Amino acid sequence: MIKISLLNHRVPNGTHGGVRGQRSLESIVIELTKQYPAILITGPRQVGKTTMLQKLMEGTDKNYVTLDDLNERALAKSDPDMFFQIHKHPVLIDEVQYAPELFSYIKILVDNNHKAGDFWLTGSQIFKLMKGVSESLAGRVALLNMTTLSQSEIYGGINTPFQVDLSVLNEKMAERKSADTEEIFQRIFKGSMPSIVNGTYVNSNIFYNSYISTYIERDVRELSDSIDALKFVRFMTAVAARCSQMQNISDIAMDADINQVQAKNWLNILETLGVIFYLHPYSNNMLKRLVKTPKLYFYDTGLVCYLTKWSNAKTVE
């Protein structure tokens, strides 16, 4: 099983998904499709996983099915064998976390056919997916993670991973147009969701309100139906107010009017949904990395601005 995480590794070129470039994951998916029978792409909702894969499957015989469709989901959970009789592989299965029952059947099909590229899978609930994958598809699946758009995907840049190398950094700086302070804060306020960046949705307040109501609240209920939606949004606001700061569960719990155990569990939910991530301090000593308190970040700065009620880039600045 191979796992690749791409946070800042993107390729600018052409026009796809409303950005000035294809997703850097595209070339990697194409290459791994020739090697692995199954590829699983995880990441938050609305970051472009399905859009990218549907673009790549144009002109192929690959089928598509989404488990957001309740009828398809019910069939996948109750009768996986019939599901795969209807949806022949090669196939793209969207939001596969809703039917973990499929994983053992995918394993059987992979072992029987030994054909690379038969299964493309996407999912939004990262840790829930990993459990099913590790139990059934270990050694048979390539795991990729997609986040929101990077600056190089939006504005163009060299397609190389970040390196602590002065010559490489100077090369990147030379081929990019510098941004002044005002533009940097405009980029922060705008965020990096494809639908906002490409202008599909102009009003970011309406977009993020719908995003939270339609996707995050629904997925939260999938993970824990006992959570009060209003309390959870207030909790998200408390977390957003501390974006880029050292994680302090006590303060977050106090502001959200919940206990620390709840705050810790709800942070795990946000991490599971790919909304936040932790940046651990660098140290040559691995033990120090694990012991020291990490900083907490959102993948999308536009969501942070919405939650903290910043009305425009000037107020952020």
AA letter at 128: K
* pLDDT tens-digit series, residues 184-207: 999 999 999 999 999 899 999 999
pLDDT, residue 128, reads: 63
Q: Are 16 and 58 in contact (CB under 8 A)?
A: no
* Residues in contact with 154: Cβ distance below 8 Å, sequence separation at least 6, in sequence order: 19, 20, 21, 192, 197
AA letter at 242: R
pLDDT, residue 158, reads: 64
Q: How many CB atoms lie within 10 A of CB 139?
A: 9
Q: Is the peptide bond before 90 cis (omega within 30 degrees of 0)?
A: yes
What does DSSP assign to residue 19? Answer: B
Backbone angle region of 88, left / alpha / beta, with phi > 0 → left and psi within -120 to 50 → alpha: beta
Compute the distance between CA of residue 6 and CA of residue 165 in angstroms, rounded to an integer: 19
Compute the distance between CA of residue 142 and CA of residue 232 in angstroms, rounded to an integer: 33
Compute the distance between CA of residue 6 and CA of residue 29 in angstroms, rounded to an integer: 12
pLDDT, residue 166, reads: 87
DSSP helix/strand/coil, 146? strand
Q: How many CB atoms lie within 10 A of CB 51?
A: 16
pLDDT, residue 291, reads: 67
Q: How many CB atoms lie within 10 A of CB 200?
A: 12
Residue 247: half-sphere exposure toward Cβ, Cα within 13 Å: 20
Ranges of the chain whose pLDDT falls below 70: 1-21, 126-132, 157-159, 288-291, 317
* Residues in contact with 146: Cβ distance below 8 Å, sequence separation at least 6, in sequence order: 6, 23, 25, 41, 42, 43, 47, 48, 49, 52
Q: What structural domains and CATH numbers belong to the chain?
A: 2-151 (3.40.50.300), 180-316 (1.10.10.10)
User: What is the pTM for the complete model shown?
Assistant: 0.81
| 93: nearest Cα among 35, 25, 141 | 141
